[in-house]
């Protein structure tokens, strides 16, 4: 199982790429959305050709992450970016990765939809001698050394931080866990970290909201019927927590009072709910690290040593957050 291991690796530089011109978004045959630049190798050789497959646009966090990636991986920063939105479908993402191989990119970067099911395409990428940069999420694969470096948050630590706050402030809580996309790195690790701290007996129920507001609402509606004594929800992201607010209010209860809500992400909408007293505690998962991705890409391309993993620093917030702090947020 490939997990976050601290190490140093070196990689020889790969072939130069051409200068390309930006093209508009288009839809490919697999249903994903591609924003690409036309052309191939053999141009002026000044740009690093990067294929980036984003897993989707399921949440405010993901949108902010995508904006950070696109704002940083630019021609001005020496990058020729081919960006594909997989729309939360692994088959779209696998197709995009194979397209990147065919397009002879210099580096492949992607945020995997789920952890498993990548063995075949990762081996194809390795055989093509294209270095991989994992972004945000991890993979579980039998392929040896499938990626050069990974950058993202420590999902397990995020779950632990949420659990520590719950354990300290609501030790007898009856918890419903609103989980992200099952099998994704964020879901697996946040569940593990949170459960390790609060204990299995404290969690009376779990269901996936697939990281979306709509599904978070639906899952919470069902939970309120199935577990009438639940008094705390741990949502794996803000969007599902916001959906939970809608369900709780529709049931005639007060979110943040009758039912405590703890979430992960700290996007502006989530922090506003915190300030308004509807969320109680939020663990940050910082989505704005496009500049760090650029730095890693350039070092990998140049054959320089890079850390096997780079942890993006997170913070935590409670209801003492001010409106000024929220308004100053970039996302």
Q: Tens digit of pLDDT for each residue in 130-149?
A: 999 999 999 999 999 999 99
- Is residue 105 within 8 Å of residue 73, measured between CB atoms? no
Cα(14)–Cα(306) distance, integer angstroms:
16
At the second CATH level, the architecture of 8-152+287-313 is 3-Layer(aba) Sandwich (3.40)
Q: Which residues pair with 54 in a beta bridge?
A: 85
Percentage with pLDDT > 70 across the chain: 86
Q: For the residues 261-271, what does the mean pLDDT come to?
A: 96
Which residue spans of the chain are classified as CATH 3.40.50.2300?
Answer: 8-152+287-313, 155-285
Please give the Cα distance from 45 to 52 (Å, whole number): 19
Nearest C-alpha neighbor of 232 from the set 174, 292, 294, 282: 174
H/E segment holding residue 162: helix 155-169
17 pLDDT tier (thresholds 50, 70, 90): very low
Number of Cβ within 10 Å of residue 253's Cβ equals: 13
| pLDDT 10s digits, 84-109 | 999 999 999 999 999 999 999 999 99
pLDDT for the residue numbered 37: 42
Residue 214 has pLDDT above 50, yes or no: yes
68-to-103, 255, 256, 282, 330 alpha-carbon distances in Å: 24, 32, 31, 21, 10
Write the DSSP assignment of 75-115 as a string of letters.
GGGTEEEEEEE-TT-HHHHHHHHHHHHHTT-SEEEE--SSS
- In this predicted structure, the answer to whether residue 16 has a pLDDT above a threshold of 90 is no
Q: How far apart are CA 243 and CA 259, in angstroms?
A: 13
Share of the chain above pLDDT 90, in %: 83
Mean pLDDT of the chain: 88
The DSSP result for 17-81, as a single string, is B---EEEEEEE-TTS-EEEEEE--SSS-S-BEEEEEEE----SHHHHHHHHHHHHHSSGGGTEEE
Within its chain, how far is the Cα of 130 from the centroid?
Answer: 23
What three-state secondary structure class fits 202? helix
pTM: 0.78
| pLDDT score of 19 | 30
pLDDT of residue 35: 64
Whole-number Å distance between alpha carbons of 261 and 106: 44
Query: In the prediction, which pLDDT does 18 show?
Result: 31
Q: Which top CATH class is 155-285?
A: alpha beta
Q: Residue range 261-285: average pLDDT?
A: 97
CA dihedral 265, 270, 274, 275 (to 10 degrees): 120
**pLDDT tens-place string over residues 173-190:** 999 999 999 999 999 999
């Amino acid at each position: 199982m490939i997990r976050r291991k601290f190490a140093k690796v070196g990689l020889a530089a790969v072939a130069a790429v051409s200068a390309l011109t930006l093209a508009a978004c288009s839809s490919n045959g697999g249903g994903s959305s591609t924003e690409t630049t036309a052309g191939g190798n053999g141009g002026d050789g000044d740009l690093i050709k990067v294929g980036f497959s984003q897993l989707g646009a399921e949440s405010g966090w993901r949108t902010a992450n995508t904006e950070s990636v696109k704002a940083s991986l630019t021609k001005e920063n020496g990058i020729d970016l081919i960006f594909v939105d997989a729309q939360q479908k692994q088959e779209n993402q696998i197709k995009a990765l194979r397209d990147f191989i065919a397009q002879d990119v210099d580096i492949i970067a992607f945020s995997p939809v789920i952890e498993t099911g990548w063995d075949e395409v990762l081996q194809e990428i390795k055989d093509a001698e294209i270095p991989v940069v994992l972004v945000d999420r991890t993979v579980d694969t039998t392929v040896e050394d499938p990626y050069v470096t990974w950058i993202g948050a420590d999902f397990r630590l995020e779950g632990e931080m949420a659990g520590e706050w719950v354990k300290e402030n609501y030790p007898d809580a009856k918890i419903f866990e609103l989980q992200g996309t099952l099998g994704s790195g964020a879901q697996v690790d946040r569940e593990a970290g949170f459960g390790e701290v609060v204990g299995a007996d404290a969690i009376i129920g779990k269901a996936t909201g697939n990281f979306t507001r709509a599904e978070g609402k639906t899952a919470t509606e069902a939970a309120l019927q199935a577990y009438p004594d639940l008094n705390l929800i741990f949502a794996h992201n803000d969007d599902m927590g916001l959906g939970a607010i809608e369900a709780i209010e529709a049931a005639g209860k007060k979110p943040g009072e009758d039912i405590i809500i703890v979430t992960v992400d700290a996007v502006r909408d989530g922090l506003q709910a915190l300030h308004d007293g509807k969320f109680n505690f939020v663990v940050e998962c910082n989505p704005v690290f496009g500049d760090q991705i650029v730095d890693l890409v350039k070092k990998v391309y140049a054959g320089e040593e890079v850390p096997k993993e780079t942890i993006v620093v997170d913070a935590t917030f409670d209801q003492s957050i001010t409106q000024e702090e929220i308004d100053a947020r970039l996302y």
